[in-house]
Amino acid sequence: MSPRLRISVSGVRGKVPQALNVEVASRFASAFATYLDKGKIGFCRDSRPSSDMLGMAISSSLLAAGLDCVDYGLLPVPFLQFIMGRKNFKGGMAVSGGHNPEDWNAVVLLGEKGNYLESSEGSEVFNIYEAANFKRVSWKALGKRRENTFRMEPYLEKMSTIIDIERIRKANFKLVSDPCNGVVSNFLQPFADYFNLKLISLNNQPGKPFPHPPEPSQEHASQTEAVVKATSADFGFLLNSDGSRLSFVDEKGESLSEECTLPLCLLSLENRIRKAITTLSTSSLTDWAAEEAGVNLLKTKVGQSAVVNLMVAEKAGAGGEGSGSFALSSFSLAYDALLSLALVMDLVNREEKSLSQLVSSFPVFFMKKLRIEVPPERIYKIMDSLEEAYSGENPDLTDGIRIIRRGLWFQIRPSTTEFILRIIIEGKKEKDVDLAEEEIRERMAK
């Protein structure tokens, strides 16, 4: 994996210390503080070994530019975004690697309501970062740092207005959780107590090494599958390290694709929202679920910031991605895995069906996700030649190249976080998917 720093509108991420280190974090915070000029910043971090270190560099740089820093300590980013939606902040910063490996980390930038920056705002921050002409104030005007604790009650109470809390409490769900030793672990028990759940917790010690890559997916679900079977739980779930992504294991102990999470959330909100945002990389399951739920679905580029920003711009009720992410605009401007979990519990309860029964009504699609390592200097040459090759099929170029054929679609796009091409192919027939893969590989080799 490349040691280079990956820069995007939501922040910077990379391997510690080769790409992301205290120097980069402090300069980045100085640039953001210079951009914001003054005010109060909400800050939180995850439990990765490098997060306190990077957080200290950020705090110092904010103070030096005269901005106050309210430090919520160990807190999942969606929780910070929830608070920011309700309080007066000038902006937010978080050190949280999300789904990235343990020796990676990320510095995330947030707007005043916990939203993501627009790309024009992001590039202004990077311009300041590069020019390194940072705002500095004298000792009299230095910012102040204050530690604060996140109060779970308002968060849970807001959630209880969205779902049928009493029915869930009566249901006595028995669930198996795997938060991957992420910071969200600390908040699962209060969540379970509030909803009257019996929680069987795996890997819930923040600060301990990750037991598996912190990405909720079927390949990391074996532990949860085994425990769901052994304990006859109602279902199980996996979270990424900062509680923004979610995937499920059904009551039979079989893991569901993370592509199921967004459709389940949309079905749970049937006839309650009219418009939702997803990406061009998300499974057709979501199109199906949106139709079932009476939701008009708009599509944009991959990434939390693109989806959430369009959600705001379009006044859409919800947004999400095939990575197991879901945001509800009346709740917060964040992908929030615990909210998604509550919605799915609500659906299971209301429909009086098990998770496997719910999913069995889903249409069947075959999806392949490929990642192909490409030297950075070759990426755009390959993309150009593919664009040429597919020019006759009316390609959607919003995010890489996306082609729709009868019963099949595929997308080829460069990753924004690694030097790879991501290829997603989905079709009704497995054979069509295999043929499409063969075709794309052939055209790439040319």
Partner 1 sequence: MIESDLKISISGIRGIVGRSLTPQLIIKFAEAFSTYIGGGKIGVGSDTRPSAEMVKCALLSGLLSGGASPIDCGILPIPSLQVYTREMKLDGAISISASHNPIEWNALKLIKSGGHFLYPYEAEELLDLYYQGKFTRVSFPGKIVSEKKAFVLHEKKILDFVDAGIIKKRKLKVVIDPCAGASTPYVVKFLEKLGTEVVCINCRPGGEFPRNPEPLAENIQKLCHTVRKERADVGFAQDADADRLAAVDETGTPIGEEHTLALAVDYYLQKKQKSPVVVNLSTSRVVEDVARRAGVKLFRSRVGEINVSRCMAQKRAKIGGEGNGGIIVSDIHSCRDSFSGMALLLEYVADSGNRLSELNSTLPHYFMIKDKKQATFREARRILNSLKHKFKQGKINATDGLRVDFPGYWFHVRPSNTEPVIRIVVEGKDEDAALKAYQKIMDEIRK
Q: Which is nearer to partner 1, 69 or 188 (CB)?
A: 69
* Minimum separation from the CB atom of position 156 to partner 1 (A): 30
Least CB distance to partner 1 at residue 417 (A): 18
Q: What angle do CA 147, 151, 152 make, to 5 degrees?
A: 145
What residues between 22 and 41 interact with partner 1 by CB under 8 A?
22-23, 25-27, 30
Q: Give one DSSP letter per residue of 320-377, joined into a string.
A: EETTTEEEETTT-SS--HHHHHHHHHHHHHHHT--HHHHHHTSPP-EEEEEEEE--HH
With beta carbons less than 8 A apart as the criterion, state whether 172 and 159 touch: no
Quote the tokens at residue 241.
């390290």
Q: Which stretch binds partner 1 (CB under 8 A): 81-89, 138-146, 170-178, 310-318?
A: 138-146
138 vs 232 by CB, closer to partner 1 = 138
**Could you tell me the two tokens for 217?**
């997916």
How far apart are the C-alpha atoms of 4 and 310, rounded to whole Å?
29
Q: Which residue, 185 or 286, has its beta carbon nearer to partner 1?
A: 185
Phi first, then psi: what are they for 305, rounded to 5°?
Answer: -70, -40
- Minimum distance between the CB of residue 285 and partner 1, rounded to whole angstroms? 38
195, 173 Cβ separation under 8 angstroms: yes
- Looking at 57, 343, 423, 444, which residue binds partner 1 (CB under 8 A)? 57
Minimum Å gap between C-beta 211 and partner 1 is 16
Alpha helices in 3-118 (DSSP H): 22-36, 51-64, 77-84
Residue 118 interacting with partner 1 (CB under 8 A):
no
Task: Report 287-346 residues binding partner 1 (CB under 8 A).
Answer: none
User: Tokens 């923040």 identify what position?
Assistant: 206
Residue 149 touches partner 1, criterion: CB under 8 A: no
Closest to partner 1 by CB, 68 vs 387, is 68
Bridge-based pairing state of the strands 408-414 and 401-405: antiparallel
Q: Which of 8, 21, 282, 284 forms a contact with partner 1 (CB under 8 A)?
A: 21
1 near partner 1, rule: CB under 8 A: no
Kindly determine how many residues on this chain lie close enough to bind partner 1 according to the rule CB under 8 A: 35
What sign does the dihedral 262-264-268-272 (CA atoms) show? positive
Binding mask 160-189 for partner 1 (x = CB under 8 A): ------------------------------
Taking CB under 8 A as the criterion, the residue among 140, 406, 431, 446 binding partner 1 is 140
Q: How far apart are CA 98 and CA 76, in angstroms?
A: 9
Q: Does 61 bind partner 1 (CB under 8 A)?
A: yes
Residues within the interface to partner 1 (CB under 8 A): 15-17, 21-23, 25-27, 30, 49-50, 52-57, 59-61, 63-64, 103, 134, 136-145
